[in-house]
Structures are given as structure tokens and as C-alpha cells.
Structure 1
Amino acid sequence: MMAERKATLFLILHWVLQYAVCREVTLPMGPLYRVAGFPLSLPCTVSGYEGPRTQEFEWFLYRDNSGGRQMGVVSTRDNGFPYVPFQPRVKNGEVRVERDSGDTVRLVIQRLRPEDQGKFECYTPSTDTTYQGNYSATVPVKVIPDTLQISFSRSLTGQPVPEGAELTLTCSAGIQSEQLTHLSITFGKRGRGEDSVSGAGGEGSAVREIISIDKLLGVVPGRSYKKRYSDGEITLEKRNGEAGLDVYVMKMKAVQPDDTGSYFCEASQWILDPDRSWQKIAQRTLDIGNLTVQQLAESLSVTSSPRGELTLQVGSPLILTCEVLGLPSGVNSGLLVQWMKRGSISSDEVGTGGVEVEVAQMSTNGIVSWGDDLSRASGGSVEKVAEGKYSLKLFSAQPSDTGVYRCVVSVYAGRSNPGPSTPATLTQSSEGVTVNLRTKDVQVSAVAHLPRGPLLKTGSTITLICNVTVTATGPIQTQVLWLRWPIPKPVFKKGESPSSSVAPPEPPVVEKPTFIAALMYNGVANTYINSSEVSIDRLSVVSYRLRVHSATLDDQGMYACHVEPWGQDPRGSWYSTGTKTESNAVTVYLYARAADLLLIPLVIGVASALFVGIVIIGTVTCCFMSRLARQRAQK
């Protein structure tokens, strides 16, 4: 009984192993519909075989009208295998076997013919020890006529197109098939100098897909054009046409230098095979022509006027003009115009001082904004006086307007209203215009002093007088600023003392002054410290007074007045003449009050009395306690 069971298990195991290693040949599910004149590719795989890893394959065709007769097509092991109809096609490579691996090959017919319709068989000669499994597989192939059409209405002439111009390409395509097939359209470009070849290829350096409508009617941008597509600069639209052809229109809103090249339109026919995979069964490519983009930098120039140097009286209007030349006609481009200035009256030389700052600008949508000096918004204007011509006007020029001006223009080619993150196509600037302003001949001097009176003590009021003398023509207002420095301490060399030093001490280190208070040219008083009560006023036309009330030791120092005359222009506006002076320094030292001097010995006396009293009490108490202790010990 046990022997029978073992025999049965052996037979079952032998059968399973034979089944697991039995040969199987696989072809795609059919029927397959392919288009005459286009390639056919049939993959064939063998598995579960014994023997070498590289298997041999033989292909047969059973034509629909052959009555089931077998016709040899091509073999991997026998060059004389093809039948007469296939011999020349195999010899010139139109019909061939391409090996993907040792047990997978594919039959390739480069140009399918109507007479190739039938049932294709893939056969693998046995290399097994026993004949098990299936050694061949068949798939029916239907050859349908070629009905794919493609055309265009206007080709590119190769004439230069200005950067930023709009490009429109139109392609018509259609299919008339009894089978359910889909159509895809691709617009692409080959690099400059590339020869025209059939097929769009991939996204390599020679051929670039720009935009497509795929087999499922989805719009797909090429890898290099995704950003421009998302920005709305490249579009593809499908329109109904005539004679069964649909019209496909691709637009580039603003061509770039990189768009130079040879353009084509590609139409592809697709079918869904029984295994639910999409297969391209026909394809046609149509050359549309060459495009050459002329760069904006080759034609654009920016000039400003007047040129060179301009000298004006203070208060006169300053008018500068910026002109943009070389913009291509027919291209609607946005312009950002900026007026920049370097240098001011405070510079040692006009144009060399400070950094370049923006005076004003006009955006692409005509909005004017001013730079750091917002007060200019009411005293000037930026206008577009003509196409490509802009002006900057300062109604009343001030000495601070001295400097070198230049016009900076950013061009957004083909984009009249660019987004905030859109980079400019090109930015150019004009030559500098040096603007000088003649100010009034002003002379100013100042003398500071302490009025006579009792010695200054802590808690008293410090009074300082600044006498100003101004010589000028026309109305003048004076602006006075009071400054304070710490009293410098003499510095002696190492090893010396003030009493033993014969040579004068080294000069002290000058610290930065502290702003105390100012009386502005318009009569407004400003104070800059919070530690003391400070007031500033004008005693007469030429005399200014500073008072520090309830002075403390922190108010000691060296005081000086800084004077700056302001003139009035013909329009009534006040401006700094640029002339400045600083008075002599007045040293203010505060003495201690009598009450403070009496307080010192009083404090010392009280402290001494307390110390003596504590010592006496401590001594008496100590002696008394010692005597009391001895008396108790005697008892």
C-alpha cells in the first residue's frame, strides 16, 4: 500500500515538473490592424524550454487568399528559408528579424503591403529532450489602406522675423478609416542647419517637440517649452476644416532667438490593440519652413537729451528726454523706463559720490512711481510724449538734484503687459547727462559764546548764544543745529605724570558729537535728547539761543553751533544752498553747589560719631560682662 502511494506521488511530481518546464511560444493578441506602407513589428517570445539560452525562430505567413498554404518569410538560422515573394525583401532588409534577447525576437516588415494580410506564425524548433508544450503561435494581421492626410496653408519663407513677433503655424490633417483610430498632431523644430527627416524623433538637441495634441486629445507641451506653455505664450487649437480635414493652429506670442530653426508638423494615426495598448500605425511629417529670429540687441538703442552737460539756475525747471530707437514695427512690446542719478552737491566731484539711485520710473502699464525722494511726486512728472519717447520733468530744480542722470529701458519684446516675474528681453541705458545747478553766492560765519554771569553750577540753566553773519542776495533763512562733544581728557605717555611732563600731551581722541537741538529754516524747533529740558529760540535776526534747564553733570561738554543758510527759488520753494559753517567750541563746566560742599563734612562727621559711639559701647559692655563673670566665680 505504501509502495503504491509513493508511485502515485512520483507520477504526480513528474507530471508537475513536465508541465512547469513545457515550452510556450507567445505572440500579441489579435487581430492586429496595420496600415499599408508603414512598419509592422511582431514580438515573439519562447519560454519553458530546455537547451541553449539562444533559441532559433522561423516565421511563416498564411495569406487570406492562399487557401491555407504556408509561406516561409524569414528565419534566424537559415538564409535560404524565405519563399520567392519574400527573398528580395529579406535581402534588402525590408523584412528582417531583430533579436531583443536569446528567447525574444521581433519580425519587422518595414513597409507593409496589402498582400501581407493574413495569419503570421512564429515557430521555434525544438531543443527539448521530450516534445512538450507548444512550439508555435499565430496572430492575424489586417492590412488597412493608408488614408492619413496632412497639409499646410502657408510656409515660412526664411525671412528674418524680429524678436518678440507673434508666430502662427497652421497644419491640416485627417484620416478616413473604417476602423476606430485616433489622430495626434505635433509641431516641432529642428536645430539650425538640420536636414529634413521623416518623423519627429525625441526631445534631443537636433529635434524638439514644441506642442502636441495627443491621441487622447490632450494638449502636451514639449519638455523645453513647458514654462512658456504655462505662461500662456504657446497655444495649440483644433478647428473644424473642410474635406474631412481638421485644422490645427499653433501660436507663439513672442518668438525668441532660440526659436530659430526648421519647423515641421507631424500627424500620427493610432489604434487600440486587443491587449489595450495604443500602437502608432501611420505617421507623416510635413516641413513648414525655416524661421530666423533677428535679435533685439542688434537694433535697439537708448539715447537721452540734452547730451553732455547741463547747467541751470536753482529753481529752474529740469527737463530730460529719453528716446528708444530700433524697436521693430508690428511688435507690441512693453517698456519699463527708469531715470537713475549718481552723485549730488555733497560730492567732491559731480557723478562720483554715493551710489546710483532711482529718481522715477514709468512701468509698462504707464504707472509712475518715484524713488527715495517721495516729495518729488508733487514737484515733477514722467510722461510719454510720443511713441518710444519719454520725459522727466522737475518743476523746480534744487542743489540736491545735481548729478549724472541716465535713462534705463527694459524691453519686454512681444509682451505689452508682462507679469511681475517675467524677465526683460533686453535692458539698455543711455549715456549720462551731467546736471549742474548754480546756487547763490552765499557767505556765512558763526561765533558761539557763553553770556557773562555767575559760575554755572549743577541745577542751574546753561545759556549759549550763537551769532550768525550771512552775506547773500535774495531771501535767506538760517538753520542752526547745536552739537555737544565730551570734554577731552589729556593723554600722557606711559611713565609720565601731569606734574613731571614737560612736553605737551598727545592730542585727545575726538568723539562723535551729540545732537542737542535745532531751529529749522522754517522756524520749527527740534530737540534730540531726552535727559534734560532743552529750549532753542531766535533772539534777533543774527542771534540764536540754546538753553539747557536744570543742568546735570551729563550736560557738561564742548558746545558748537552748525549753521546752514537756505535760499528761496523763484517759485517760492526753499532749498539748501550747500554752504555750511561751524562755530568755535565753547566749554561748559559745572561746579558743585555750596549745599553739596557742606554735605560732605556733615556725612563724614556723622559717620565718625557713629563709629566712636559703637566702639565705646562695645568696650564698656565687654568689661562689664567680664567683671560680672569673675564675681560669680568667687561665690
Structure 2
Amino acid sequence: MSTTMASMKTPLLLFLHWVLQCAVCRDVTLPAGPLYRVAGFPLSLPCVVSGHEGPRTQDFEWFLYRDNAGGLQMGVVSTRDKGFPYAPFQPRVRNGEVRVERDSGDAVRLVVQRLRAEDQGKYECYTPSTDSAYQGNYSGSVTVKVIPDTLQISYTRSLTGLPVPEGAELTLTCSAGISSDQLTHLSITFGKRGAAEASGSGAGEEVSTVREIISIDNLLGIVPGRSYKKRYDDGEITLEKRNGEGGQGVYVMRMRAVRPEDTGAYFCEASQWIRDPDRSWQKIAQRTLDIGNLTVQQLAESLSVTSSPRGGVTLQIGSPLILTCEVLGLPPEVDSGLLVQWMKRGSVSSDDVGAGGVEVEVARMSTDGVVSWGDDLSRASGGSMEKVAEGRFSLKLFSARPADTGVYRCVVSVYAGRANPGPSTPVTLTQRSEGVTVNLKTKDVLVSAVAQLPRGPLLKRGSTITLICNATVTTTGPAQVQVRWLRWPIPAPVLNKRQGSDVASPDPPVIEKPTQIAALMYDGVANIYVNGSEVSVDRLSAVSYRLRVHTAAMEDQGMYACHAEAWGQDPHGGWYNTGVKAESNAVTVYLYARAADLLLIPLVIGVSSSLFVGIVIIATVTCCFMKRLARQRAQK
């Protein structure tokens, strides 16, 4: 039995020894074949050697067995012997058309810059031995088939180089096709060469940049260039394939609205692809066709916005105000969307007049012709904004008011090449017109206001507070008064002195922001602004206005004042705010405690005193009892 085991052990050991040796054997690897490549285009064959001994940098020798040479071996190129190439390859090796490029010490590639029909055959990559023992394979081979060049590319119309206005549509057409017995695919790329400032180089130095705009890849997928992806996603750049004559495909790229950065030299590139036995796609042919140069003329160089009447205008109150905005310099061949706005700065009804103050929007017309009004929505029925002609817009206020005074400007935002832009579409250019100053001839208006607290019983919590505001307006023509009631907290010195409610004090100091209580508008509408109290306002006579706070609480006491604003009537019967105001004196309202509240004071004091005396008595009795009990225990 032991003899049998020994006889089996010896072959097993020999097999394991052979496996270990083969694990470190030299191995030369090339791509699987056959490889189909196109005549006139580059051939690149990688060759990698592994499992070798000796130096890391290995030498390589390439041989060719031509199909028409009956298996005759021809030296192509070597990394160690300059005289290695056979005569047909010597001039090609000398001028670099055939060469070996090293990727690493043990990996190289044979490069044939321009493949010829006679280059077809089996290529062998041989690695001279640097091993201590000859084992493994020292060469590998792959078959290369050279197929004719059938890639064709053309264009129907080239760019003329004449300036194209910003926002115009650019259409480029490229035709391409292949005719091959092998299954090959075609890809098309539209690109642009332009000048860009080089980083890290001298100031002002420019280098040429190539950007891919959009492609149809070898699998018929649309691939936008990295710099053009957003424009492709927004639908501004498209690429479609059509069937052309002679089996060629017609590829049409459209750029919806060109921009200044689109200036450059455009080209169309067609590539032929084949799938190798290792399932990888390889580009085997490529042609580039220059379509021409594009120069984009910026809109800012031609666009201008003017408004009229020039300078300013002075009107009577109630007269119509008509302003016109004209947009000039828009290219007629470009269909652009316009957003037109009328802006106004300053008014007689505020402290910001003329060039000061905040600029507000009066009205706007969107790109689809919809008119909307700014904060003063009442103008929607008292004015209009229209497009009276191409590039000409008008703003009409049927009856001008003092609040309409100020400096008006027309602001135009242009969406070049986009007649109906989306919400996220960027504006191409925004320009403003010069200002038009609008003044109104106003009538002399005087307003006065006096607040008073009628005499009566002392005001207590739960009483009704009644205040009177006498407001008068002196002017020509019909007028109305709009009255607002405000309340400030009572200052601490006044509160401590407990002055009566009929004591009038000077104008309230601006210590805290007042609370707006109520208002009686010029048209008789009452507005109540506080929620905690029952408040009413009414008009007693032509000049007398009343505020009542029912069931007053302690938070309703304070310093009250009324503000009066004068409103006038225009010739058309419409009412307007003259901007003239008056503030009354302040009236202090203090609420006294009720009699029922005062009766609670002795009751509370009596109950508190009784509790205190009882606690003292109980504590005294308990203490004495405990002391006596302690003495009795001590005697025992």
C-alpha cells in the first residue's frame, strides 16, 4: 500500500512543480482578431508582456506576414535594432509613420499612421528572452484586415462669415455615409473652434479651443457637449437625422438663438466605428469638414430705448397723461420677445420726489401681451398700456392725480430669438430710457385737525371712551377729509401723577410706534384695526368725526390723536389724495378703578390680617404646650 502511495506522489509533485513554473511563465498578449481597419487611417496594436524575468523594460520586435506573400515573415520595427525593418518599412519607420509607442516598460503599441492595403496580414509581437530558462510564450499574433475607405462627408451650405444678429437661428446641415461589407456604425459631431484666453500664460494671449456642440454617437444616441447641455435641455439646440440620396444620412443641427459666445469656426465631423471581437467599439475612420466662420453681432450695439415727451410735462389735475416708449435697433429677421415696464420714482404723496426715493413699477406688458399693474391696482380701471405699433408702446392714465407725479422711465427686457420665453429663460439684454418728469398743477389746500375729549363723568374700566376730531379743509372745489385715529402709551411721568382725562398735553413724543385704532375713509367707509376692543367711528357733521371705544379695558387708556388727509375731486368726478395732511394735538385718556374694585381692597386686607393673626396664635399655643410637656417629662 505504501509503495502505491509513493508511486502516485511523485507524478503529483511533478504536476504541481509544472503548474508553479507556468504561473510565472512569460506571456505575450495581443487583442483578439481579426481586426478590421480602414486604409489611410491609423492602426494601433497594443502588446503586453508579463511573467518575465530580468529588467522591467523589455524589448519588442514586430513582424508582418502579408496575405499575398505566402507566409513570408517581414520585419516591421524593433525597439532595440534600428536596422531591423525590412526594405518596404524602412522609409516609413524613418519618417515616423510606422513606430512603436511605449505605454510602460512591458507594454507598447505598434502605430501605423496611415494604413495601406498591403499592410493587411498577420502581425506578430515578439519579445526577446531575458529569462533564466526558456518557458512560456515569447510572441503573440493578431490578424489585421484592411478595408477600403468609403467614408463620405459634405455640406449643403457654408457660413459666409457675415455678421449674424444675436438671437438669430443658426441651421447647419451635414451629409455623411459609408459603404462597407463589414458591419460598421457612423457618428456625427458638430463643433466649434474659437479663441479663448489662455490661463497661466501672458496677459491677452489667446489659444484655440475646440468645443463639441452636439453629436449622434455610434449607437444613435444624442449627446450634447458639456458646455451646451443646458441649452440642449432647454430645447435651444437640436440635432436630427434625415434620409438623403445615395444612402447617405442628412444631419441637421439647429441653434435656436445664437449668443455672442457662439462666434467661431464651425465644423462637422463624421466617424466610422466597428465592434472588435473583444466587444469594444473602435473608431477606424474620421473626417472633418469645415463649414465656415460665424460672427454674432451683439444686440447691445444696436438697441436703444427712448421715451416721450422728452424731458418733462406739466398737467392739470384730472388731465390725461400719455407716455410713449419706442424700442429701436431690433433686427427685423429675429423674432424676439419684449417685456416692457413703466417705472416711476418719487411722488407728491411721499417724501421722495424727483430723483430720490424708491423706484416702483407702474405697469408692465409681458411678452405675450398681458398687461398687469403695480401696487396701485386702482389704475387698472383708470389707465391703459398698449402696443400701438411694432416696437412702440404707450402708457395712458385717464385722469392724472398728485400721486402720479415723479420721474417715469421705460424699461425694456429683450429675449432675443425667443418670442415666447419660459419662466426660466434668461433675459438677453435690458435697457432703460431717459427719464420723463411729470408735474401736476395742484390747488392750494389747507388742512387742520383738533382732537378733544368731551366733558363728562370720570372714565372707569368698562366705560365708553368718546373722542372728537374737528377737521377742516380750505380749498377751491369739492373736498373730503379722511381721518385716522392713533394711540400712544401714556408716558410714565403722566401716569404717575394720575392726571384727569380732560387734561390736554402737547404733541405726543415719538417714543414708541403708535397703534392705529380706526379710520373713516373719504368715501365714508370705516376701517377698524384693533381686535381686542369694540370700536366704532362715525361722522357727526361736515367737520366733526367721532371715535368710540366701548367697554374700555385698561389697555385702551393712552394718548390719542387724529390725522386728517385732504382728498380732492378731479373734473371727471374721481377722488384723489392731495397729499396734504394734518396731525391733531394729543388727548390723554386715563381709566379710574370702579367702586366695586375699591370694595375689594378692605376685604382682601381683612382676610389677610385674620389669617396672619390666626397663624400667630396657633404657633404661640403650640410652642407653650410643647415647653410644658418637656418640663413634666424632665421631672419624672
Name the TM-score, length of structure 2 as normaliser. Answer: 0.86
Would the aligned equivalents of 1:344 and 1:353 in 2 still touch at CA under 8 Å?
no
My pick for the range that moved more, 560-569 or 93-102, is 560-569
How far off its partner does 1:332 sit? 0.7
How far off its partner does 1:574 sit? 1.0
Task: Go from structure 1 to structure 2 and tell me whether the alpha carbon gap of 1:52 and 1:360 turns closer, same or farther (over 3 Å shift).
Answer: same
Match of 2:405 among 397, 402, 405: 402
Task: Go from structure 1 to structure 2 and tell me whether the alpha carbon gap of 1:32 and 1:458 turns closer, same or farther (over 3 Å shift).
Answer: closer
How far off its partner does 1:545 sit? 3.3
- Report the counterpart of residue 190 of structure 2 in structure 1: 187
- Report the counterpart of residue 220 of structure 2 in structure 1: 217
Q: In structure 1, how many angstroms separate the alpha carbons of the residues matched to 2:219 and 2:605?
A: 109
- Report the counterpart of residue 468 of structure 2 in structure 1: 465
Match of 2:339 among 336, 340, 349: 336
Match of 1:25 among 28, 31, 34: 28
Q: In structure 1, how many angstroms separate the alpha carbons of the residues matched to 2:307 and 2:292?
A: 41
* 2:179 partner SS: coil
Would the aligned equivalents of 1:485 and 1:557 in 2 still touch at CA under 8 Å?
yes
Alignment of 1:443-482 (within 5 A): 443-451=446-454, 461-482=464-485
* 1:479 partner SS: strand
The CA deviation string for residues 528-576 of structure 1, in whole angstroms up to 9 with x for no partner, is: 4455544433332233334445556655444433222211112211111
Q: In structure 1, how many angstroms separate the alpha carbons of the residues matched to 2:521 and 2:450?
A: 18
Residues 1:292 and 2:295 aligned together: yes
My pick for the range that moved more, 604-613 or 575-584, is 604-613
Task: Go from structure 1 to structure 2 and tell me whether the alpha carbon gap of 1:103 and 1:610 turns closer, same or farther (over 3 Å shift).
Answer: closer
Amino acid at match of 1:62: Y
The CA deviation string for residues 275-300 of structure 1, in whole angstroms up to 9 with x for no partner, is: 22221111111111111111111111
- Report the counterpart of residue 206 of structure 1 in structure 2: 209
How far off its partner does 1:177 sit? 1.6
Amino acid at match of 2:561: A
Q: In structure 1, how many angstroms separate the alpha carbons of the residues matched to 2:34 and 2:554?
A: 109
- Report the counterpart of residue 253 of structure 1 in structure 2: 256
Match of 1:316 among 300, 305, 319: 319
- Report the counterpart of residue 58 of structure 1 in structure 2: 61
My pick for the range that moved more, 446-455 or 569-578, is 446-455
My pick for the range that moved more, 472-481 or 550-559, is 550-559
- Report the counterpart of residue 232 of structure 2 in structure 1: 229
Residues 1:69 and 2:72 aligned together: yes
My pick for the range that moved more, 581-590 or 300-309, is 581-590
- Report the counterpart of residue 157 of structure 1 in structure 2: 160
Q: In structure 2, how many angstroms separate the alpha carbons of the residues matched to 1:292 and 1:107?
A: 43
Match of 1:40 among 30, 40, 43: 43
Task: Go from structure 1 to structure 2 and tell me whether the alpha carbon gap of 1:237 and 1:459 turns closer, same or farther (over 3 Å shift).
Answer: closer
Task: Go from structure 1 to structure 2 and tell me whether the alpha carbon gap of 1:401 and 1:32 turns closer, same or farther (over 3 Å shift).
Answer: same
Alignment of 1:163-562 (within 5 A): 163-192=166-195, 206-352=209-355, 354-451=357-454, 461-490=464-493, 510-530=511-531, 532-549=533-550, 554-562=555-563
Q: Percent same amino acid among aligned pairs?
A: 80
Q: In structure 1, how many angstroms separate the alpha carbons of the residues matched to 2:291 and 2:590?
A: 94
The CA deviation string for residues 132-171 of structure 1, in whole angstroms up to 9 with x for no partner, is: 2222222222222111111111111111111111111111
The CA deviation string for residues 178-231 of structure 1, in whole angstroms up to 9 with x for no partner, is: 22221111111111399xxxxxxxxx9711111111111111111111111111
* 2:564 partner SS: strand
How far off its partner does 1:402 sit? 2.1
Q: In structure 2, how many angstroms separate the alpha carbons of the residues matched to 1:149 and 1:322?
A: 54
Amino acid at match of 2:235: G
Amino acid at match of 1:469: T
Residues 1:136 and 2:139 aligned together: yes
* 1:279 partner SS: strand
Q: In structure 2, how many angstroms separate the alpha carbons of the residues matched to 1:103 and 1:182?
A: 33
Give ranges in structure 2 of 5+ residues lacking alignment. Answer: 198-206, 496-507, 630-636
Q: In structure 2, how many angstroms separate the alpha carbons of the residues matched to 1:50 and 1:612?
A: 110
Would the aligned equivalents of 1:489 and 1:508 in 2 still touch at CA under 8 Å?
no
Residues 1:572 and 2:573 aligned together: yes
* 1:192 partner SS: strand
Task: Go from structure 1 to structure 2 and tell me whether the alpha carbon gap of 1:134 and 1:441 turns closer, same or farther (over 3 Å shift).
Answer: same
- Report the counterpart of residue 582 of structure 1 in structure 2: 583
- Report the counterpart of residue 111 of structure 2 in structure 1: 108
How far off its partner does 1:444 sit? 2.2
Alignment of 1:119-134 (within 5 A): 119-134=122-137
Q: In structure 1, how many angstroms separate the alpha carbons of the residues matched to 2:239 and 2:592?
A: 91
* 1:191 partner SS: strand
Would the aligned equivalents of 2:352 and 2:358 in 1 still touch at CA under 8 Å?
no
Amino acid at match of 1:281: I
The CA deviation string for residues 602-625 of structure 1, in whole angstroms up to 9 with x for no partner, is: 759976997999799999x99xx9
Q: In structure 1, how many angstroms separate the alpha carbons of the residues matched to 2:573 and 2:599?
A: 61
My pick for the range that moved more, 307-316 or 334-343, is 307-316
The CA deviation string for residues 358-383 of structure 1, in whole angstroms up to 9 with x for no partner, is: 22211111122222222222222221
Would the aligned equivalents of 2:349 and 2:402 in 1 still touch at CA under 8 Å?
no
Amino acid at match of 1:404: V
Q: In structure 1, how many angstroms separate the alpha carbons of the residues matched to 2:428 and 2:587?
A: 62
Q: In structure 2, how many angstroms separate the alpha carbons of the residues matched to 1:13 and 1:60?
A: 35
Would the aligned equivalents of 2:385 and 2:396 in 1 still touch at CA under 8 Å?
yes
Task: Go from structure 1 to structure 2 and tell me whether the alpha carbon gap of 1:521 and 1:119 turns closer, same or farther (over 3 Å shift).
Answer: same
RMSD of the TM alignment (CA)? 3.4
Q: In structure 1, how many angstroms separate the alpha carbons of the residues matched to 2:276 and 2:566?
A: 93
How far off its partner does 1:7 sit? 4.3
The CA deviation string for residues 437-468 of structure 1, in whole angstroms up to 9 with x for no partner, is: 23221122233344455665666554443333
Task: Go from structure 1 to structure 2 and tell me whether the alpha carbon gap of 1:85 and 1:374 turns closer, same or farther (over 3 Å shift).
Answer: same
- Report the counterpart of residue 198 of structure 1 in structure 2: none
Amino acid at match of 1:85: P
Task: Go from structure 1 to structure 2 and tell me whether the alpha carbon gap of 1:81 and 1:402 turns closer, same or farther (over 3 Å shift).
Answer: same
Q: In structure 2, how many angstroms separate the alpha carbons of the residues matched to 1:454 and 1:11?
A: 128
Task: Go from structure 1 to structure 2 and tell me whether the alpha carbon gap of 1:532 and 1:228 turns closer, same or farther (over 3 Å shift).
Answer: closer
My pick for the range that moved more, 457-466 or 37-46, is 457-466
